[in-house]
Amino acid sequence: MGATSAGLLLYRRRSGRTQVFLVHPGGPYWSKKDDGAWSVPKGLVSPGEDELVGARREFKEETGFDTAAAAREHDLGTFLLPSGKRLHVWAIEGDCNPAELRSNTFTMEWPPNSGRTAQFPEVDRGDWFERDQALQRISHGQRPVLGKFYDQLG
């Protein structure tokens, strides 16, 4: 079985419409990609780690936002991604200002084969999307997450 990731799908209601908060991956590979590149804030959980605890930790690391005061979470279930990873997602109602997003960083060799390393944010931005735009922006493998969310809560 592949690795397990866990994530939180933050959502809010504005003027009778439901919006979801998605994040765009940082780094040079993703810099010019938009449609099909966005994601639920998520990350790997350690063996034996409570997956909801891991999802909250990853959300905070990738966005800088703490969901501790947010409403109770709704378990959307576990989804098999094309990579073979399992992704367990909870929806949680809350709010945040995308302009205040602060992500952790990662280091990689850049440019390729240069022998030099550079640091990049794991997430370079986040934003609120209504259903049609969210389905267009989210990665293909995570579309079932949004489908289940909208079926149950949207």
Identify which of 11, 48, 1 has the alpha carbon closest to the alpha carbon of residue 145: 11
**Residue-level pLDDT at 1:** 57
CATH architecture under which domain 4-152 falls: Alpha-Beta Complex (3.90)
Residue 72 is given by DSSP the state: P
Mean pLDDT within 101-112:
94
pLDDT in tens, 37-93: 999 999 999 989 999 999 999 999 999 999 887 778 999 999 999 999 999 999 999
Model confidence at 2: pLDDT above 80: no
Extents of the domains making up the chain: 4-152
What percent of the chain is modeled with pLDDT above 70? 98
CA distances (Å), origin 7, targets 16, 23, 40, 110, 117: 25, 11, 6, 28, 28
Model confidence at 128: pLDDT above 70: yes
